[in-house]
Amino acid sequence: MKTTIGFIGLGNLGTPIAKNLIAAGYHLQVYNRTISKADELDQASITKCQSPAEAAAGVNFLVSVLANDAVLTETVTGDEGILKTLPKDAIHISMSTVAPDTADELAELHQQSGNHYLASPVFGRPEAAAAKMLWVCISGDAKIKEAAKPLLETISQGVVDFGDHTSAANVVKLTGNFMILASMEMMAEAYTLAEKFGVDRTKVADFFGSTLFNAPIFKNYGKTIADKKYETVGFTSQLGYKDASLVFKLSQQSQTPMPIANVVHNRLLTALAKGWTERDWAEAISRGVTDDAGI
């Protein structure tokens, strides 16, 4: 018999993750606010649920991939939240990008209910999730991490452990999203400067992306930014702003002056103000830079 796990959140990232869990042989008790999203999953491998509580009933593992701190907190603590039904000793594998404080608070509530919260934020766009090329960051109690690893390995290319503090993985995730944002801003500034001096920005991006900056971020986002082709929305400006805003708060909370974090926060805030909410975050940054430069 297939192992049944709970699964909450069928967004751009959640859906390919759910598909890979199904392909790995799990049966999913699925909940999503818009439950029609579950129609594209193999129906024989899922049970559609009407609430987070229903999805969490009777499972050893519940995976959540949610948009932000408020939605995650409601999903856990709401009237029909996970905590109402999640069995004793079960593990909530939380893949959302949220503030460390949120993770610490939810972990405490889970502990009071006799079960566990595992911070497991992931790196990768939807196409990476589909190809099992995500990176999963984890932190917390050793036994919990060990128990969750086999499941996490089926949906990723690697699981990286950041120690025993509950929310360390969340700090790493926000640090990484800050670095992606900063890289996009830096490329947008650099390639726009080159263009202004009559140098082919695509050639410049190709050169750096294949030499000094020969890494996925600079190859993939570099091409998007150099070519100014933003059709594919992998991660919205709205979500990008949420992350920039969380980094900004961490910077204040820890008294770490971060001038580049200020720049990208302002860039995303501007994108929202211009109504680019549902466009890709790479467009928010790249168009922000070219607009400012009058091109």
Chain contacts with a copy of itself (rule: CB under 8 A): 100, 123, 135, 137, 158, 160, 162-163, 165, 167-168, 171-172, 175-176, 178-180, 182-183, 185-187, 189-194, 196-200, 203-204, 207-208, 211-218, 247, 250-251, 254-261, 263, 266, 289, 292-294
CB of 265 to a copy of itself, least distance (A): 11
CB of 115 to a copy of itself, least distance (A): 25
CB of 129 to a copy of itself, least distance (A): 14
Give the phi and the psi of residue 242 in degrees, each rounded to 5.
Answer: -55, -45
Active site residue 48: no
CB of 68 to a copy of itself, least distance (A): 20
Which of residues 33 and 223 has its CB atom nearest to a copy of itself in the complex?
223
Q: Which of 19, 173, 228, 242 is catalytic?
A: 173
Burial of 153 (0-12, 13-18, 19+ CB in 10 A): middle
Alpha helices in 154-236 (DSSP H): 168-196, 201-210, 216-227
Which of residues 31 and 162 has its CB atom nearest to a copy of itself in the complex?
162
Cα 72 to Cα 92, 98, 145, 280: the distances in Å are: 11, 8, 20, 23
Write the CB contacts of 184 (distance below 8 Å, at least 6 apart in sequence).
Answer: 221, 225, 281, 282, 285, 286
DSSP tag of 3: P
Cα–Cα dist 127/133, whole Å:
8
Write the CB contacts of 241 (distance below 8 Å, at least 6 apart in sequence).
Answer: 268, 269, 271, 272, 284
Which of residues 147 and 204 has its CB atom nearest to a copy of itself in the complex?
204
Which of residues 55 and 246 has its CB atom nearest to a copy of itself in the complex?
246
CB of 15 to a copy of itself, least distance (A): 22
DSSP string, 5-19: EEEE--STTHHHHHH
Secondary structure class of 37 (helix, strand, coil): helix
Which of residues 142 and 199 has its CB atom nearest to a copy of itself in the complex?
199
Which of residues 35 and 179 has its CB atom nearest to a copy of itself in the complex?
179
DSSP tag of 88: T
Cα 63 to Cα 10, 21, 36, 206, 250: the distances in Å are: 11, 10, 19, 38, 25
CB of 204 to a copy of itself, least distance (A): 6
- Look-up of token digits 């598909």: 19
What residues are labeled active site?
173
